[in-house]
Structure 1
């Protein structure tokens, strides 16, 4: 009788566990470290980015997905937390890094932080992560199953 109760409990809990795993469960892996990411893949989401946030969890980030590979430049307008801005090409190889970018409250006078090469994906993490991971250009970004590998 006990195994039946355990099985019944597991079946009752399964939808809750799946909902938790599926809600905001997108992730990327970089240099062996996994980050849960928010996806910004529309113009409005990319424009807002991490503005007005007071913190970003230690293992969290935002992944910006552009429609095509091109030179990119990000800025920290209304961004309150220091970030590492990491640029990746179509093959998800790191092509440029802007480390320890400070917050900016100067509105439209905030400076841009450009990529040194065309990029398709941009990952923003808390400042210091790139140094801790000892990232080098060419490092591969791996997507979890919920993130489309390409919009082509």
Structure 2
């Protein structure tokens, strides 16, 4: 291989690596430069048990792009009793959420495409000096709902129940 061709291949590999790194770092860099998002859409999420009885509802901010999902509740000082964040993904997959920048406990609820609750975690805020990225909570879903701590317990929400989000295709309650 000629030196010129080897240099071209090396340059292409370096450019591809830079593109992948830029894509991966985009949410964190965007938050560092621009700050946290402020233009969230809002909707209502209502919980129903498997018999269709209404368990409760919350008003949520919708995190439907990479920057909003990455920021999550990190820049939020607290949540009122019936407030939360609804994370919207393009597909159903195994996901992991972390407690990055959190200063209060929350419930993390993983939700299938039709609105069925697949996992519930009671996540504690990181202790002082602990990196919230190390506190990891996993589940499978297209949506994830973050709520004030113990909201699911107070309202009797369990795995298998339904979350119906206004404006989304969460049809398990219908």
TM-score of the alignment, normalized to the shorter chain, above 0.5:
yes
With the shorter chain as reference, the TM-score category is 0.7 to 0.9
Cα pair 2:41 2:62 within 8 Å, conserved: no
The one-character-per-residue Cα deviations of 1:75-108 (angstroms, maximum 9, x if unpaired) are: 1011111100000111110000102x11125236
2:90 corresponding residue in structure 1? 67
Return 26-35 or 121-130, whichever deviates more: 26-35
Once the 2 structures are TM-superposed, how far is the Cα of residue 50 of structure 1 from its aligned partner?
Answer: 0.2
User: Structure 1 residues 45, 96: CA separation in 2 closer, same or farther (over 3 Å shift)?
Assistant: same
* Residues matched between the structures, number: 123
Instruction: Report the 3-state secondary structure (helix = DSSP H, G, I; strand = E; otherwise coil) of the residue aligned with 2:169.
Output: coil
2:4 corresponding residue in structure 1? none
Structure with the greater alpha carbon radius of gyration: 2
Question: What does residue range 4-83 of structure 1 map to in structure 2 within 5 Å?
Answer: 25-31=42-48, 32=54, 33-83=56-106
Q: Which runs of 5+ in 1 are unaligned?
A: 1-22
**Deviation >6 Å, runs of 4+:** none
Task: Give the TM-score of the pair, scaled to structure 1.
Answer: 0.74
| 1:136 has 2:153 as partner | no
Q: Which runs of 5+ in 2 are unaligned?
A: 1-39, 49-53
CA RMSD of aligned residues (A): 1.9
User: Structure 1 residues 25, 114: CA separation in 2 closer, same or farther (over 3 Å shift)?
Assistant: closer
| 1:113 has 2:133 as partner | no
Task: Give the TM-score of the pair, scaled to structure 2.
Answer: 0.65
